[in-house]
Structure 1
Amino acid sequence: MKTKLTTFVGKTFIGALLLSAAPVFAQIIPGNEASTSIRPYHVNVPEEAVADLRQRVLNTRWAEKETVTDRSQGAQLAKVQALVKYWGDGYDWRKAEAKLNDLPQFITNIDGLDIHFIHVRSKNPKSLPMVITHGWPGSVFELMKIIGPLTDPEAYGGKAEDAFDVVIPSMPGYGFSGKPVGTGWGADRIGRAWDVLMKRLGYKTYVSSGGDWGSVVTNRMAAQKPEGLIGIHVNMPATVPPDIAKLLASGSPAPANLSVKEKAAYESLNYLYTKGAGYAGILVTRPQTIGYSLSDSPVGLAAFFYDKFADWTFSGGDPEKSLTKDEMLDDISLYWLTNTATSAAQLYWENNANNFNAVDISIPAAITVFPGEIYQAPKSWAEKSYHKLIYFNEVSKGGHFAQWEEPQLFAEELRAAFKSLRR
């Protein structure tokens, strides 16, 4: 059946956006839309949606100023106001939209859900296919700066034989992918879907990489060991040994027999569990409740995300040192304009587990440790979780959003990580 999905316009837009479980900003080229088809995708957000966002931003009722001089109470009023002022009178969503539309985007249905993805092939016919998964509160925007260095390495200081074909999906409930209408779309199911996607694209062998939720999905894929997945790379590895995990869960001090790096990792995780995981507590237990606020207030959404950008970039709590305002607002605006704050948060509810505790991975695995990551995984722990550790490197800059913050460095790490797996 040949059909064409057109952009929602007029007064029907807002209601359709709130009710639809599928992307609504697509212009999909007519063609065979059977369940396994791959359809070109083009983003075109209606102007009234952009204008509505701007008006909501300008009508913000602000919270009172924090009563401390640091970030201990959360995102600081002056910082959020500066970001939001620019959002209301300087930021241009159309530039973000153009960046997306400059890349080959597609939609395909996997296991009953439409999946949006970017697919950029290298000109090198011997390039290594790779699926890269974003995290929360990120999106495909956090990965777009590494596409050039990976697919065209010669233009970025690499060699032709370093090239990758890059596939970047939007996770279910995120961005322009469909929103699950029932339970079950956790990291395991996403991992299986990514294997279907890579094979649907014609790749017989491929590698996988990710940070944050991307690391979780990549680890699950490695545990599933689908035919054709020959190796993984993660920058938020799951390495905490069971005995250490029990001590952390009980709030105990670090044991005396830990090495310097193991103790540093212990202290970082102890801080996260005792003081830094409030956001996760509500997302894991009450994503629907927090979703009402994040879906109704653009400034509430921006403040919630900005707080994590401040925590997790390698910036000393000042994310503008790592990311531009435009980059942060591209990501925040994507969540707002697709109304995916709630559906994205539901992934935490689906995956109510500790994603730092040791995994049991037996396929080739590579790890890069960034200094601004939530914790710096010690090699001694990593070797017990990733039994075929083919690459482990500690770098001097970059944080939790390493692909976004340090794209050139991250691309160099992926080239080195997978060098031994090229054929």
Structure 2
Amino acid sequence: MKKNQRYLANTLITGALALLATPIFAQSVSATKGADQIRHFHINVPQAAIADLRQRIAATRWPEKETVKDQTQGVQLEKIQKLVKYWGTTYDWRKAEAKLNALPQFITTIDGLDIQFVHIKSKHKNAMPLIITHGWPGSIFELLKIVGPLTDPTAYGGRAEDAFDLVLPSMPGYGFSGKPQGTGWDADHIATAWDVLMKRLGYQHYVAQGGDWGSVVADKMAHQKPAGLLGIHVNMPATVPADVAKALNNGEPAPAGLSVKEKAAFESLNYLYKKGGGYAAMMVTRPQTLGYGLSDSPAGLASFFYDKLNEWTFSGGDAEKVLTKDEILDDISLYWLTNTAASSAQLYWENNANNFNAVDISVPAAVTVFPGEIYQAPKSWTERSYHNLIYFNEVSKGGHFAAWEEPQLFAEELRAAFKSLR
């Protein structure tokens, strides 16, 4: 091959790889201008990226089967092979894409980073503005089933006065938001950015909600007390007292004098610290190293996420009992097609703190405890952390991904939690 022909071939290959790594998203500019510009956003992943995904799945090199009969070594080979095979042969990303494109999507730049978000205004008057933050390994997809119940409550057993205007952003480094090119985008920074976003949308008063990282962000917003933040609701509260946290960190027995519910919370967290927290330790210490493998192998990414979905849903260890294959793969595909395995893990490195240890919050706060959460926060601990606790409820269904698993119940909890703040 002649020199110029090799150059042309290499250029075409490089261009094709760039196309696969960076999907094309159509955008159109809205009426707002300048630094506060809010642009319409539409998703259109190139077919070449989907074809590449399927080819990679077909070429998966699987390890040997686990040597135990349960999930103590991780995701079982037979289960993940079935999911990944379905992903590579039957699953249709275009249906997931259509779900998002059916909603009003926007993007705006805050502190030099593009933030993509969904903004749904209720048809009901005096709807309460609510910003909800997803977590890891979740995304906006885990919140889609609550859009109807929250924005149109009369169609889901609620009242017109229960309505919310919803703002659902993708965190920096997640989904279609921008990827930080430097350090500093920690939970505190995200909390500040969310207040900017709500004010930019014209909301002078609003409430905030979150689970997983979303709980951390909501807590940070409450600490910052921006003007207009009326209150927060979290479903993974940070309540662990200092003496209990010390015992957990040092591998010591539970402190004396704990109640039955406090002992149960201790044991759940003790399991996480000793056996269930390896995923977080990798992201806290080596997110970039981990990201190389997750960004190159669809099966690797799927198994890493599927492990936590099985463990954290209220499903007895089988996420497919509460979520469909398509719902699970919508979320995993979003991470794959946006190549955000590494950039999303960076948040763990940025934060590098214990997100369960007690906070000191005076802003009105509401807490719902779901039975499948990583730990069930006792009311006794919760009252010591959230000093203006306006609502506390323990429900009988739902896990870590409460909005995804039990959308109707979750919506009812938010209506009740924020009722006194309207």
TM-score normalised by structure 2 residue count: 0.95
Alignment-derived partner of residue 392 in structure 2: 392
| Kept after mapping to 1: 8 A contact 2:365/2:391 | yes
The answer on 1:81 being equivalent to 2:81 is yes
Q: Is the 8 A contact 1:290 1:342 kept in 2?
A: yes
Distance 1:156 1:25 in 2: 36
Partner residue of 2:275?
Answer: 275
Describe the shift of the 1:277–1:106 C-alpha distance in structure 2 as closer, same or farther (beyond 3 A): same
Match of 2:418 in 1: 418
Secondary structure of the corresponding residue to residue 74 of structure 2 = coil
Q: Of residues 14, 18, 27 in structure 2, which corresponds to 1:15?
A: 18
Partner of 2:126: 126
Partner Cα distance (2:66, 2:100) in 1? 37
* Amino acid aligned to 1:204: Q
CA distance in 1, matches of 2:143, 2:15: 32
Structure 1 residue 58, shift from structure 2 partner: 1.0
- How many angstroms does 1:222 deviate by? 0.3
Q: 1:233-252 alignment to 2 at 5 Å? A: 233-252=233-252
Query: Is this contact kept in 2: 1:126–1:161, CA < 8 A?
Result: yes
Q: 1:125 to 1:154 in 2, by over 3 A?
A: same
Work out the CA distance in 2 between the residues paired with 1:230 and 1:264: 32
SS at match of 1:123: coil
Distance (whole Å) between structure 1 residues aligned to residue 335 and residue 56 of structure 2: 15
Give the drift of 1:59. Answer: 1.0
Deviation at 1:107, TM superposition (A): 0.3
Mean Cα displacement is larger for which, 388-397 or 54-63? 54-63
1:356 is paired with a residue whose SS is: coil
- Please give the alpha-carbon distance, in whole angstroms, between the structure 2 residues aligned to 1:265 and 1:76: 28
**Shift in Å at residue 34 of structure 1?**
2.8
Q: CA deviation at 1:33?
A: 5.5
Distance 1:117 1:275, change over 3 A: same
Unaligned stretches of 5+ residues in structure 2:
1-11
Q: CA deviation at 1:256?
A: 3.1
Q: Map 1:305-324 to 2 at 5 A.
A: 305-324=305-324
1:29 aligns with 2:21: no
Contact preservation (8 Å) 1:362, 1:388 = yes
Q: Kindly state the Cα deviation for residue 329 of structure 1 after the two structures are TM-superposed.
A: 0.3
Call closer, same or farther: CA 1:64–1:212 in 2, change over 3 Å. Answer: same
Aligned letter for 1:210? Answer: G
Once residues 85 and 194 of structure 1 are traced to their aligned partners in structure 2, the CA distance between those partners, rounded to angstroms, is 38
Residue type of the alignment partner of 1:29: S
1:193 pairs with 2:190: no
Name the Cα RMSD after superposition. Answer: 1.3
The farther-off stretch of 245-254 and 359-368 is: 245-254
What one-letter code is carried by the residue in structure 2 that aligns with 1:15? A
1:13 CA displacement: 5.3
Match of 1:206 in 2: 206
Residue 380 of structure 1: aligned partner: 380
**Is residue 298 from structure 1 mapped to residue 298 from structure 2 by the alignment?**
yes
Which residue in 1 is equivalent to 2:228? 228
Query: Contact 1:17–1:338 at 8 Å: present in 2 too?
Result: no
Deviation at 1:253, TM superposition (A): 1.3
- Residue 140 of structure 1: aligned partner: 140
Partner Cα distance (1:390, 1:410) in 2: 17
Q: Identify the residue that residue 258 of structure 1 maps to in structure 2.
A: 258
**Counterpart-to-counterpart distance in 1, 2:410 and 2:20:** 35
SS in 2 for 1:232: strand
Distance in 1, Cα, partners of 2:376 & 2:421: 25
Deviations 1:282-340 (A, max 9, x none): 00000000000000001000000000001100001011011110001000000000000
Count of residue pairs the alignment pairs up: 410
Shift in Å, 1:125:
2.1
CA contact (8 A) 1:314 1:371 kept: yes
AA of the residue aligned to 1:329? L
Q: Which amino acid aligns with 1:66?
A: E
Q: Are 2:20 and 2:52, in contact at CA under 8 Å, matched by a contact in 1?
A: no
CA distance in 1, matches of 2:180, 2:26: 21
Alpha-carbon deviation of 1:11? 6.4
Distance in 2 of aligned mates of 1:376 and 1:193: 30
Between the aligned partners of 1:15 and 1:89, the Cα distance in structure 2 is 24
The 2-side partners of 1:178 and 1:256 are apart by: 47
Deviation at 1:136, TM superposition (A): 0.2
Give the aligned partner of residue 368 of structure 1: 368
> 1:353 maps to which residue?
353
Q: Following TM superposition, by how much is the alpha carbon of 1:148 offset from its aligned partner in structure 2, in angstroms? A: 0.5
> CA-to-partner distance for each residue in 1:367-406, whole Å, 9 max, x for gaps?
0000000000000000000000000000000000001000
Query: Residue type matched to 2:402 in 1?
Result: A
Measured in 1, the distance between the counterparts of 2:166 and 2:14 equals 38
Amino acid at match of 1:319: A
Aligned letter for 2:343?
Answer: S
Q: Deviations over 1:230-254 (max 9, x none)?
A: 0000000000011111111111111
Distance 1:332 1:268, change over 3 A: same
- 2:20–2:48 CA contact under 8 A, matched in 1: no
Partner of 2:3: none
Q: From the superposition, tell whether residues 253 and 108 of structure 1 become closer, same or farther in structure 2 (CA, over 3 Å).
A: same
Deviation at 1:15, TM superposition (A): 1.8
Give me the whole-angstrom Cα distance separating, in 2, the residues matched to 1:110 and 1:94.
Answer: 29
Shift of 1:35: 2.4
Distance in 2 (CA, whole Å) between partners of 1:144 and 1:224 is 28
SS, match of residue 27 in structure 1: strand
Report the equivalent of 1:104. 104
CA distance in 1: counterparts of 2:163 and 2:47, whole angstroms: 38
